[in-house]
Chains A and B, each alone.
Chain A
Amino acid sequence: MKKLNHELSSKKLPKSPTGIQGFDEITGGGLPKGRPILVCGGAGCGKTLFAIEFLVRGATEFNEPGVFMSFEETNEELTVNVASLGFDLEDLIRRKKLILDHVHIERSEIEETGEYDLEALFIRLGYAIDSIGAKRVVLDTIESLFAGLPNQLILRAELRRLFRWLKDKGVTAIITGEKGDEKLTRQGLEEYVSDCVIMLDHRVNEQTSTRRLRIVKYRGSMHGTNEYPFLIDETGFSVLPVTSLGLKHIVSNERVSSGILALDKMLEGKGYYRGSTVLVSGTAGVGKTSIAAHFAEAACKRGERVLYFCFEESPNQLIRNMLSIGIDLEPWVEKGVLLFHATRPTLYGLEMHLAVTHKAVNAFKPDIVILDPINTFVISDKEFEIKTMLMRIVDFLKASQITALFTSLTSSEGSLESSEAGISSLIDTWILLRDIELSGERNRGMYVLKSRGMANSNQIREFMLTDHGVELREAYIGSKGVLTGSARIAQEAKESAELLIRKKDIERKKREIEQKRNTLNAQVSALHFKFESEESEAIKMIEIEQDQIKRLNQDKLEMAESRHADSENIKSINAKKTK
């Protein structure tokens, strides 16, 4: 089986990479090597640029020199025109990597008599190819011949021969053709070039234009069949293979802080998952951008790169506004870790936005992307298209392990849980900001509507925009439900007053007991005292009694002695006395 696979892959059509961003991805490696390719499209759709970039990239990146045979623009015009894309054709010509050959056909200068062929064109092309060992050829656009030469029979036969000849030469050739009314090209070039046909398109829809590319056919190769948006900017051509994304991205267990400690706590104390998609939605003026700015600042502090797309405010305005809540983004911009990308959503179509996002992300390589806000795309009721676009952005960012934060404005009339862009199902963590109107004031409340893969807090928290950023107040949990603003303060004051009263009660009780104890002690000691005095009195009385008895006995003894009574009597008296 392995061997079979190997054999198959060795038999696979060899390809010639174009070096055009994204194009090689959708074609699985580029254009078919050694074959003619037809690139067709209407006026101004970028055929010539596509072709010239193919040659320039070939010469500079793949060491495949090229020949550009132009039937329309002169060499000078062409050189100047593509200089704006950063291509230095003169340098390539000097280094023998490129030959420009302008074929000038002026109908008024030409008279036809009898049989002829286009052998001279073959010779010129062959000479140019051989002199620099060219592997790539562009004929732009050969249809001009039809205007210059009246004899179409000869021309068509010769074109057929030309494409055959190009194949035999083994060069990869791009032939451009103007779009025809019912055919792909005005002169039906697709009859001759049947290996690979690429269609470029420049459409204007609701005043915004979008460039699109489609591979009409590609013999012997798998290819993407969709229409892909493409861009032409200062770095050349770029095609966006956006629809080729799937749900196969790797997930991360790493967490990133939201930049707001209390919000992190609501998300298991750790924040968002890296590579997840966060939506902050809420009504106007509720602080969505502030939360985004916190996230951006925290990321910059961690040393990560942040790409901030703002669709409503200019970067300067945003920086100024964030300064008022104590977030200074300017140093990060200067350091180059934070990049603002400000465009009006109406500037170009959705596809183009996607393309721009794609390109900007690829160029800046951020860890975090912020889109603020996404609902501005909703210009008309194209919800499906917006959803597809956002889905592509989400997929693309996820595949690149980029944490994305979108903000979305919900209109106060609609349900808060419905985000206008209709992308709720794409979102991993959804933070909902809402106004709470209570007792004559508006306060801000925040809660985590959902957060996939974590035990998030279910509390509605009041949050405030202070001069040192977003602050979340502890959730008020009491008999009165969620209270905010002054109502909450009043409730808190009331509660603390009650607490104070209770405290005082207890203290009073304590004091009473103490007093009682003191009284008791006093009584006890008084009794003691009384008892002692009574006791001592009793002892005294006993002593007196004993003294009296003693004295009585003494008296008796003295009496007896004086009467000279029996000694026995005395003895008994004495005995009594001793007793």
Chain B
Amino acid sequence: MTIKKENSAKKIRVEKQVETTNDLWVLRLYVAGQTPKALTAFTNLKKICEEQLNGEYSIEVIDLLRNPQLGADDQIFALPTLVRKLPVPVRKIIGDLSNTERVLVGLDLLPVNNL
């Protein structure tokens, strides 16, 4: 499970970083190791992005256990935290993203089916 998660996280980061310039949505997910909460958050995020963002997004997963100095830059204090870097303004969503509706509110998005 752990290995799979790591792979997918890496995969996405690598894939999407290439096309960052074209992405409408730049998201960062801060986690600390492979905790259940982190995994849930990632799965939830992935699902929402696939459904709502139409492929125009990039997700960067930052593991604070490996890079603790990065936490201060985005003023992270809770984990997991999703940071919407683009479009501005910066928004933060803390928690495991289990409530899709709230995540969408946090991202200033309306669910697709409402469009």
Is the CB–CB distance between A120 and B77 below 8 Å?
A: yes
Q: Rank and list the top 7 A-B pairs by shortest CB-CB distance, nearest first.
A: A111-B106, A127-B68, A114-B98, A114-B95, A114-B96, A113-B95, A113-B102
Q: Which residues of A contact B65 (CB under 8 A)?
A: 123
Q: Which of A103, A111, A113, A119 lies in contact with B79, CB distance below 8 A?
A: A119
For A158, give the chain B residue with the smallest CB separation: B78
In the complex the two chains form, what is the Cα distance from A225 to B91 in whole Å? Answer: 48
Interface presence of A112 (CB below 8 A): yes
> Is B9 an interface residue when CB atoms closer than 8 A count as contact?
no
Whether A124 and B93, one on each chain, are in contact in the complex, defined by CB atoms closer than 8 angstroms, is no
Cross-chain contact A112 with B64 (CB below 8 angstroms): no
Interface residues of B in 75-113 (CB under 8 A from A): 75-81, 89-99, 102-103, 105-106
The one of B64, B69, B79, B106 in contact with A116, judged by C-beta atoms closer than 8 angstroms, is B79
User: CB of B72 within 8 A of chain A?
Assistant: yes
B68 pairs with A109, CB closer than 8 A: no
Provide the residues of chain B in CB contact with A227, threshold 8 Å.
none
A120-B32, A124-B71, A126-B68 are contacts. A113–B93 as well, Cβ < 8 Å? yes
Min CB gap B110→A, angstroms: 15
- Measured between beta carbons, the chain B residues less than 8 angstroms from A103 are 75, 77
From known contacts A117-B79, A120-B78, infer whether A127 and B94 are also in contact, taking CB-CB under 8 Å: no
For A110, the closest partner residue in chain B by CB is B92
Contacts of B30 in A (CB 8 A): 120
Nearest residue, chain A, Cβ from B80: A116
Q: Are A123 and B103 in contact (CB under 8 A)?
A: no
Q: Are B77 and A113 in contact, CB atoms less than 8 angstroms apart?
A: no
Residue A121 interfacial (CB < 8 Å): yes
- A115 is an interface residue with CB less than 8 A from chain B: yes
B17 to chain A, nearest CB (A): 23
Beta-carbon contact of B98 and A113 below 8 Å: yes
The total of interchain contacts (Cβ-Cβ below 8 angstroms) comes to: 94
CB distance from B107 to the nearest CB of A (A): 8
Quote the shortest CB–CB distance from A117 to chain B (angstroms). 6
Contact A116 B94 (CB under 8 A): yes
A149 lies within 8 A of chain B by Cβ: yes
> Please, how many angstroms separate the alpha-carbon atoms of A117 and B36 in the complex?
12
B13 contacts the other chain (CB 8 A): no
CA distance A109 to B107 in the complex (A): 10
Q: How far is the CB of B34 from chain A (nearest CB, A)?
A: 13
- Is A104's CB within 8 Å of the partner chain B? yes
Min CB gap B25→A, angstroms: 16
Contacts of A114 in B (CB 8 A): 40-41, 95-99
Closest to B89 in A: A109
B71 and A123 form a contact (CB under 8 A): yes
CA distance A119 to B98 in the complex (A): 19
14 CB < 8 A contacts A-B: A103-B75, A111-B103, A111-B106, A112-B95, A113-B93, A114-B40, A115-B37, A116-B95, A117-B78, A117-B79, A120-B71, A124-B71, A124-B72, A124-B77
Contacts of A117 in B (CB 8 A): 37, 78-79
With A and B bound together, what is the CA distance between A115 and B38 in angstroms? Answer: 10
Q: Which residues of B contact A149 (CB under 8 A)?
A: 78, 94
Chain B residues whose C-beta falls within 8 Å of the C-beta of A123 in the assembled complex? 32, 64-65, 68, 71
A101 proximal to B (CB < 8 A): yes
Evaluate whether A111 and B75 lie within 8 angstroms (CB atoms) in the complex, with A119-B32, A120-B32 already known: no
Please determine whether B95 and A120 come into contact, CB atoms closer than 8 angstroms.
no
Residues of A within 8 A of B97 (CB): 113-114
- Chain B residues contacting A101 (CB-CB under 8 Å) are 72
Taking the complex as formed, is A118 at the interface, i.e. its CB lies under 8 A from any CB of chain B?
yes
